[in-house]
Amino acid sequence: MSDDFDDLFGKDDGDPLDDPAEPVEVKKSTEYRADPNEPYVRVTLAWLQRVLPLVESKEQLVVAEWLFRRRAVCKQEWFSVPSGELELELGISRATRYRTLIHLERGGVIAITRLGRQALLVKLLPLPPRQAKVPCSH
């Protein structure tokens, strides 16, 4: 067997990575088109970096993302967490919501205050100040 790359494929087979003789038509998906009036969730990379180590499931991650969106929508430092909204819109249980709030509070990402027996207010806590980088000494 030869070490020459020209012999990698048989002489009659051609290179399977070459462009096809005829262009391939690419079909655009028409199944889903985003409605600009539809609500959406947008989070920062910094927020995801803070919450990913704290959540234990995809549902908890959705709750964390929803909290970020809720803060932006409410435009308040402290904002409410309606009990039924996540369950009605996304099927996320109350237990999952509370479990996520506890994880995020213990992780120092949010603060929670209770108004009476059931109402909650949540505050997203700022990032801790970055520690100064210590130069490497050789």
The tens digit of pLDDT for each residue in 13-49 reads 666 666 666 666 766 666 666 666 777 778 899 999 9
Residue 7, pLDDT > 90, answer: no
> Cα separations (Å) of 79 from 52, 74, 98, 129, 135?
22, 6, 15, 24, 41
State pTM to two decimals: 0.67
- Pick the residue with more confidence: 51 or 26? 51
In this prediction, residue 37 carries a pLDDT of 72
Look-up of token digits 């499931």: 57
Percent of the chain with pLDDT over 90: 46
Q: Tell me the domains of the chain and their CATH numbers.
A: 45-124 (1.10.10.10)
Name the pairing type of β-strands 78-80 and 110-115: unpaired
For residue 102, give both structure tokens.
Answer: 């506890």
Look-up of token digits 């180590």: 53
